């Protein structure tokens, strides 16, 4: 088997730190007030992001995560 890699979840608004590795945004809409330069992303992956219906249902409620 190949090497395993850890996945870390971070806020887009946090600055890149040493050891971050590849930064991928998984969302269908671009975050308000964020420029592509400030985001410092390697990829924006909209294909695997939650649907709009799921995002509205979740409504930032940690109990539903």
Residues 19-33 have pLDDT tens digits of 888 999 999 999 999
What is the percentage of the chain residues whose pLDDT exceeds 90?
A: 45
Task: Tell if the pTM clears 0.75, that is, is over it.
Answer: no
| Residue 43 token pair | 């990829």
Residue 50's alpha-carbon distances to 18, 20, 41, 45, 57, in angstroms, are: 28, 23, 19, 11, 11
Q: What is the pLDDT of residue 1?
A: 61
Ramachandran category for residue 41: left, alpha or beta (phi over 0 → left; psi -120 to 50 → alpha):
beta
| Mean pLDDT, the chain, whole residue set | 88
> 34 pLDDT band (50/70/90 cuts)?
very high
**Average pLDDT of the residues in 34-41:** 93
Give the C-alpha separation, 41 to 34, whole Å: 11
Closest CA to 20 of 44, 42, 48: 42
């Amino acid at each position: 088997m190949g090497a395993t890699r850890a996945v870390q979840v971070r806020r887009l608004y946090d600055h890149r730190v040493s050891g971050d590795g590849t930064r991928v945004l998984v969302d269908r809409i671009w975050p308000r007030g964020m420029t592509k330069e400030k985001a410092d992303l390697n990829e924006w992956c909209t294909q695997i992001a939650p649907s709009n219906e799921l995002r509205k249902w979740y409504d930032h409620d940690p109990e539903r995560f």
